Structure 1
Amino acid sequence: MKINWGTAIVLAFVAFISFILFFVYRMSTDDRANHDLVTEEYYKQELAYQKEIDASRSASEMNAKLKVEKSEAGLTIIFPDQFDPKKIEGTVSLYRPSNKHLDIDFPISLSKTHLLIPDNSLVDGRWDITVKWKYEGNTFMHKEKLTY
């Protein structure tokens, strides 16, 4: 059977389109490729953004800046010395942009002025850390991006 050049071009186009459609279907149904939003409740979180701005501003006005240091034991968050550690309450959120399954949220409970996050709970790579804390009715927030 002899195929002329017009039929060969049409067959090449059909094969190429089939190839592309196969990969589009495969990538849209594959569980290994996550196509998630950054957060589940994106619009709700956007509405609370002004509270975050106010908390960051109050932290800078009251000289309540945190220090985040990497050490061999893990990640250390150092709270200001002028605050009583027993009166500090809040949460620490570690957000991993590349994989939402690695995100960690835990409450702050201090006996000293520093909080240690163990090295075994952090995977190498980029992390966004958010510390929201309260002290005697004042709300503070610290955000930082770090590579671990």
Structure 2
Amino acid sequence: MKINWGTGIVIGMIAFMGFIMFMVITMMTDKEYDHDMVTENYYAKDLVYQNEIDAEKKANSLTSKIKIEKSSEGLHIYFPEELQEKNVSGSIQMYRPSNEKLDFQIPLQIENSTMLIEDSKLVGGSWKVTIDWEMDGEQYLFKKAIVY
């Protein structure tokens, strides 16, 4: 049987569309290719974004900046001295962009202007650290992307 050029083009188009459909279905159903949203409540979080900007400005206006250092024990977070003498409450959120299951949040417990996040809680790779605290009735926010 001889196939003319018109039939060949139709067969090629059908094969290409079949391949694309196979790839789309594979990407949508296979857990290996799971693409989570950055946050579940994206639009609700967007509405309070100005509050985050104001809190970051307040954190940047402190006498010294928060420093994060990697060590064999884990992640050391060094806070400004002015937080030591005040009543500070807040949390540290560790966000892993590549895997939602590794995200965690811990309460802020500052001892001698430092805090340690143990090595056992962290996996090597990219992390986004968000430190959110309240001091003297005002909100403060510090964000930093790190590689552990």
TM range (shorter): 0.7 to 0.9
With over 3 angstroms needed to count, the CA separation of the structure-2 counterparts of 1:4 and 1:55, relative to structure 1, is closer
Distance 2:7 2:138 in 1: 76
**Corresponding residue number in structure 2 for 1:105:** 105
Letter of the 1:24 partner, please give it. V
Letter of the 2:16 partner, please give it. F
Letter of the 1:19 partner, please give it. F
1:129-144 superposed matches below 5 A: 129-144=129-144
**Corresponding residue number in structure 2 for 1:26:** 26
Letter of the 1:46 partner, please give it. D
1:123-134 superposed matches below 5 A: 123-134=123-134
Match status 1:87 vs 2:110? no
**Identical-residue share of aligned pairs (%):** 44
Distance 1:74 1:85 in 2: 25
C-alpha displacement at 1:134, in angstroms? 1.6
Given the two structures, how large is their TM-score scaled by the length of structure 2? 0.87
Given the two structures, how large is their TM-score scaled by the length of structure 1? 0.87
Deviations for 1:69-89, whole angstroms, at most 9, x for unmatched residues?
A: 111111111111233367221
**Corresponding residue number in structure 1 for 2:15:** 15
C-alpha displacement at 1:59, in angstroms? 1.9
Q: Gaps spanning 5+ residues in structure 1: where?
A: none
Contact 1:93 1:103 in 2 (8 A): yes
Distance 1:85 1:109 in 2: 13
Deviations for 1:43-92, whole angstroms, at most 9, x for unmatched residues?
A: 11111111111112122333252111111111111111233367221010
Letter of the 1:135 partner, please give it. M
Distance 1:51 1:130 in 2: 14
Determine helix, strand or coil for the equivalent of 1:36: coil
Letter of the 2:43 partner, please give it. Y
**Corresponding residue number in structure 2 for 1:122:** 122
C-alpha displacement at 1:130, in angstroms? 0.7
- Stretch deviating more after TM superposition (3-12 or 88-97): 3-12
Deviations for 1:83-132, whole angstroms, at most 9, x for unmatched residues?
A: 33672210101111111111111111233321100112111111111101
Number of aligned pairs? 148
Task: State the superposition RMSD in angstroms.
Answer: 2.0
- Stretch deviating more after TM superposition (53-62 or 74-83): 53-62
Q: Gaps spanning 5+ residues in structure 2: where?
A: none
